[in-house]
Chain A
Amino acid sequence: MSLQLFCDWLAATPASLLFQTTSWVVPAVQTVHILSIAVVISAALLVHLNTLGLAMRSYSSAALAARFLPGLWWAVGVLLVSGSILVIAEPARSLPKGIFQLKMSLLIVAIALTLLYQLPMRKQPAHWQTTPARRMNARAIAILSLIIWCCIVFAGRWIAYVF
């Protein structure tokens, strides 16, 4: 089945028709989406700038990861659900567009980088401070993650403007 046919099929489902005909659904779900973006972006910003020595310097990176990353994952979950509702409401607005496909690819990279950062800290909270090489890797993850999250937000907003 081609993407175009899939979009047509999805747009004709009862769920999609319900979202299309209930005028407050799309703005309400977009609002939830933006509030969740606020949680993800701020959590990532404080955790990663702390790694770079630029934020919350009196707090350890292990403490910040323990405090903020669970919230980041919850917000990512809400983003996936709210984003799915927006796709179902208007499939052709997002699915066929390169900018949307780019956003989803970057999201996978951002999630992988966050896991790459978080998982070793579960065994050893100070994992990223134990050797100079690990410190460098943590900084690389921090810079890459921040750039990618920003690109994801930009790509998301541009879905509305690209045809």
Chain B
Amino acid sequence: MTLQPLLSWLENTGVGTAVRESAVLFPWFESVHVLAIAVVVGTIAVVDLRLLNLTFRERPVSELMSQVLPFTRWAFVVAAITGIAMFAAQATSYMDKTPFVVKLLLLFIAGVNIAGFHFITARDMHTWDVGPTLPARVKFAGATSLALWVVIVTCGRWIGFV
């Protein structure tokens, strides 16, 4: 199976063609993409630091997550839409760039980490929600997330240099 038909189809969609042929659409999408990533990474870092027991220690983990993660989710949706629009313009050549492919893989792993946290690690959250200490696996999830997002941003910036 090859991705090529899907990539060619993406490039020929209205969005792909418009972004490729316009002089201003790509920078506009890119600006919104950067802004959305700033919100995704910064807000998720607040939650990750809480999971590492380094901030907001006097307040429950669940309280912080419920009030911060909605911003992360909405910003991620915006980052994904603008990212797909830019990808559609040059799908084939992006898939040839190592940092882009690594970024996609790490995004997938970040998703697995989030799912693992919500469905496995956080099942007994009531026992550690208010601290004062947090299980090692909770800290591990926070540290993993923080590291993944730093590398994801790094890969994203490197796409423009290869």
Q: How many A-B residue pairs have CB under 8 A?
A: 82
In the assembled complex, the CB of A16 is this many whole angstroms from the nearest CB of chain B, namely 18
Task: Tell me whether A55 and B154 are in contact (CB under 8 A).
Answer: no
List chain A positions with a Cβ less than 8 A from chain B: 23, 26-27, 30-31, 34-35, 37-43, 45-46, 55-59, 67, 150, 153-154, 156-158, 160-161
What residues of A have a CB within 8 angstroms of the CB of B46 in the complex?
42, 46
The 3 closest A-B pairs by CB, nearest first: A42-B42, A41-B38, A38-B41
Majority secondary structure, A binding face? helix
Q: Which of B5-13, B63-71, B135-143 contacts A (4 or more CB under 8 A)?
A: B63-71
User: B154 to chain A: which residues have CB within 8 Å?
Assistant: 31
Q: In the bound complex, do residue A161 and residue B157 qualify as a contact, i.e. CB atoms below 8 Å apart?
A: no
Q: How far is the CA of A26 from the CA of B30 in the complex (A)?
A: 18
Chain B interface residues (CB < 8 Å from chain A): 27, 30-31, 34-35, 37-43, 45-46, 55-56, 59, 63, 67-68, 71, 150, 153-154, 156-158, 160-161
Which residue of the partner chain, among B38, B39, B67, contacts A56 with CB atoms under 8 Å?
B67
Complex: chain A residue closest to B42, CB-CB: A42
Cα(A3)–Cα(B73), bound, Å: 44
**Which one of B39, B41, B71 contacts A35 once the chains associate, using CB atoms below 8 Å?**
B41
B55 and A37 contacting across the interface, CB-CB below 8 Å: no
B57 to chain A, nearest CB (A): 11
C-alpha spacing A140/B47, complex, angstroms: 28
Pairwise interchain contact B41-A67, C-beta atoms closer than 8 A = no
Contacts of B41 in A (CB 8 A): 35, 38, 42
The answer to whether A34 and B63 have CB atoms under 8 Å apart is no
